[in-house]
Homo-oligomer: A and B are copies of this chain.
């Protein structure tokens, strides 16, 4: 059931190349639209490598989900050190900058997956877990604010974090199909205002 780890640096490089290629292709074409053959052609690996490291395509997708979470959090490092209201603003700016610089589509890789694997019993929990990890950093930041006396002690950090996440996802979804970041900008602005309403 577990994904096979590589035991040498060479193997690790090959494995990474496969996951990277799969992540990039699935970001654009979706899971079902990305065949194993295409992934291998793009990564330069052969089929025996793929099935040496992954039991099947589904396990490759599992690795891709993890990779997406790494990429997402890596693109918004401010999320790890949220300790003031200004930090939250910095965080939203980083979020916007990622897509302002973007050559690819404006979209959240996890959000793209959500619609497709939302009911797959194996993959859906992994997407869920990735979102919860993402959200937990926001929650931790809010708890920090509360402990510093900058957030209403009656506010529910978990709920506020979820509200912020819905704004991010809704904004990205609309921005995606409109090829226009405005929807995300507005959504983030509204979310920040909403959170600041619990400032104390």
B-binding residues in A (CB < 8 A):
28, 30-33, 105, 107, 111-116, 118-119, 124, 127-128, 131, 159, 162-163, 165-171, 173-174, 176-178, 182-183, 186-187, 190, 194
Contacts and interface: CB of A to CB of B under 8 A. Distances in A.
Contact of A115 (B116, B167, B194): B116
Contacts of A32: 30-33
Give the interface SS of chain A, mostly helix, strand, loop or mixed: helix
Contacts of A119: 28, 105
Nearest to A162: B183
Contact of A111 (B31, B128, B163, B173): B173
A115 B186 CA distance: 20
A115 B127 CA distance: 14
A197 to B, nearest CB: 9
Given A32-B30, A33-B32, A165-B170, A118 B176 contact: yes
A124 B118 CA distance: 20
Contacts of A163: 186-187, 190
Contact of A170 (B28, B159, B187): B187
